[in-house]
Amino acid sequence: MGSISGGKQNLIIVSNRLPLSVKRVDGSFQSSLSSGGLVTSLAGLTKSTQFQWFGWPGLEVRDLGDREEVSKSLEAHNAIPIFLDSTLAHEHYNGFSNRILWPILHYQSGVTFDDTPWQAYKRVNELFADAIVESAESGTLIWVHDYHLMLLPELLRHRLKQQGKACAIGFSLHTPFPAGDFWRNLPVRKHLIEGLLSSDLIGFHTDEYKQNFIDTCASLLDARTEIPNQIQYKNRLVCTNKFIVGIDPQKFTDTLQTPKVQDRIRTLKERYKGVKVIVGVDRLDHIKGLTQKLSGFDTFLDDHPELQNKVVLIQVAVPSREDVKEYQDLERDLCTMAGKINGKHATPEGTPLLYMHRSVPFAELTALYSVADVCLLTSTRDGMNLVAFEYVACQEERHGVLVLSEFAGASSFMSEGSISFHPANTTEMSEAIFKAITLDPSERKSKYEYLRNFVNENTR
């Protein structure tokens, strides 16, 4: 959201997840960088802009002394924790945000609405509003992020008015916004849309998501939407727009040049001499199409026996939302599939699939991106997908090929420089992989240059 972040105003950023997640280790508190694209996309802002970042610290802290200790440790990063008791946090984050709202935003069917998590969602949005209004002054710009906090703009607007404070409110959605019929599945859909419409500006990753939202406002609330990018509702004018979220490519270039990463790259190159390396890095989430990816790779191995022992897929599946049953089931399914694929295609020389269910340190991630000939991303739906950007940022030398699902938001901007496919079509995926590993160097170079320019031009 360039226009919001560029100024020197007093800025408050709000998201459910803080850039650092806190854990209790042997009685004391340790914080580590949070996973996921929201943090990656906003972390780059710290270079140019000063702001306070409000969010949930990721664990329950009851004792007041402990709360002070956690707050102090986060203060150095301008992060301000909003403490929630564990049942409330669980119902808000796992129960409503990730079991109900997230699947609907990503076109998944079979979602069951439940009132208890919805009440928790409302309560958490209220607690966030209380904390933020206390810190905001007139003139502060409040920039709210993502689906966990859709009611927040309305709650803020109300409280700010009561306290006589005038603040602009921006909202960025990091997920898709689905076409009308999907949104209708949600019985509380009106409350959420009305909550958002108290913003001054609402940002989406693509024009499609933006237009779906505008159409929903017209059909659900009878809002006036004749003027492009504007929604008139209850005497307020709300602007909407597309803002391309991105990464800080320099961070990758700098890390790649460190001796430690250069050393690691040499080791990996030696290990995979004569082998085409395909990399996948995804949170372990249904939307990333990981079962589809493994099926597509299996088909590819069936289709190309001549490539036995000459191709490897290194798949990093970053643990995510592990308290949600659907995520636990997916993890079990993936483990089984990975075992079956290796059982079927392994030879005494090795296995074609390396499935890693853990997060990887940043230096290792950059080395992996750098040695991979192909990056395979198979999202069934995905707000943007910053892994696609990160892979490109690490491919200056190799000009590796991005094989990108047409359903990732990133595909709206990167399809010209990548190989696009439908993730549910295993034959198409197999052909896309084959095309990527056999693409001639001049085509690789021109695709890469297209993507490099895009990534370098959209750095936040």
Ligand X SMILES: O=P(O)(O)OC[C@H]1O[C@H](O[C@H]2O[C@H](CO)[C@@H](O)[C@H](O)[C@H]2O)[C@H](O)[C@@H](O)[C@@H]1O
Per CB under 6 A, residues contacting ligand X are 17, 35-38, 41, 146, 174-175, 245, 320-321, 382-386
Separation in Å, CA 163 to CA 36, 51, 56, 155, 244: 35, 22, 24, 13, 34
Q: Which does 216 bind (CB under 5 to 8 A by kind): ligand X, ligand UDP, none?
A: none
Q: Whose structure tokens read 């009611």?
A: 151
Residues found near ligand UDP in the complex (CB under 6 A)? 35-38, 40, 281, 283, 316, 318, 359-360, 365, 384-387, 390
Provide the minimum distance between the beta carbon of 184 and ligand X in the complex, in angstroms, as a whole number: 22
Provide the minimum distance between the beta carbon of 114 and ligand UDP in the complex, in angstroms, as a whole number: 24
Provide the minimum distance between the beta carbon of 173 and ligand X in the complex, in angstroms, as a whole number: 8
Provide the minimum distance between the beta carbon of 92 and ligand X in the complex, in angstroms, as a whole number: 12
Q: Which does 106 bind (CB under 5 to 8 A by kind): ligand UDP, ligand X, none?
A: none
* Residue nearest to ligand UDP as judged by C-beta position: 37
**Is the Cβ of residue 132 or residue 316 nearer to ligand UDP in the bound state?**
316
Provide the minimum distance between the beta carbon of 286 and ligand X in the complex, in angstroms, as a whole number: 11
Q: Which does 318 bind (CB under 5 to 8 A by kind): ligand X, ligand UDP, none?
A: ligand UDP
Distance CA 138, CA 192 (A): 26
Q: Which of 213, 174, 244 is nearest to 1 (CA)?
A: 244
**Is the Cβ of residue 227 or residue 362 nearer to ligand X in the bound state?**
362
Provide the minimum distance between the beta carbon of 12 and ligand UDP in the complex, in angstroms, as a whole number: 22
Q: Which does 380 bind (CB under 5 to 8 A by kind): ligand X, ligand UDP, none?
A: none
Q: Which of 231, 198, 199 is nearest to 214 (CA)?
A: 231
Provide the minimum distance between the beta carbon of 32 and ligand X in the complex, in angstroms, as a whole number: 13
Give the distance, in angstroms, between the CA of residue 380 and the centroid of all CA atoms in the same chain. Answer: 14
**Is the Cβ of residue 40 or residue 212 nearer to ligand UDP in the bound state?**
40
Cβ contacts of 443 within 8 Å, gap of 6 or more? none
Q: Which does 459 bind (CB under 5 to 8 A by kind): ligand UDP, ligand X, none?
A: none
**Is the Cβ of residue 61 or residue 368 nearer to ligand UDP in the bound state?**
368
**DSSP readout, 168-226?**
EEEEE--S----HHHHHT-TTHHHHHHHHTTSSEEEESSHHHHHHHHHHHHHHH--B--
Tell me the one-letter amino acid at 332.
R
Cross-strand pairs, 344: none
Provide the minimum distance between the beta carbon of 41 and ligand X in the complex, in angstroms, as a whole number: 5
**Is the Cβ of residue 4 or residue 365 nearer to ligand UDP in the bound state?**
365
Q: Would you say 240 and 210 are in contact if contact means Cβ atoms under 8 Å apart?
A: yes
Element (H, E) at 307: none
**DSSP readout, 31-85?**
EEEPPSHHHHHHHGGGGT---EEEEE-SS---SHHHHHHHHHHHHTTTEEE----
Q: Which does 146 bind (CB under 5 to 8 A by kind): ligand UDP, ligand X, none?
A: ligand X
**Is the Cβ of residue 22 or residue 38 nearer to ligand X in the bound state?**
38
**Is the Cβ of residue 290 or residue 318 nearer to ligand UDP in the bound state?**
318
Sign of the dihedral defined by the CA atoms of residues 429, 430, 435, 437, in that order:
positive
Q: What is the dihedral of CA 37, 42, 46, 51, to 10 degrees?
A: -140
**Is the Cβ of residue 38 or residue 314 nearer to ligand UDP in the bound state?**
38
**Is the Cβ of residue 261 or residue 287 nearer to ligand X in the bound state?**
287
Provide the minimum distance between the beta carbon of 321 and ligand X in the complex, in angstroms, as a whole number: 5
Q: Which does 321 bind (CB under 5 to 8 A by kind): ligand UDP, ligand X, none?
A: ligand X
Q: Which of 172, 162, 159 is nearest to 129 (CA)?
A: 159
Q: Inter-axis angle of helices 115-135 and 152-162, to 10 degrees?
A: 40
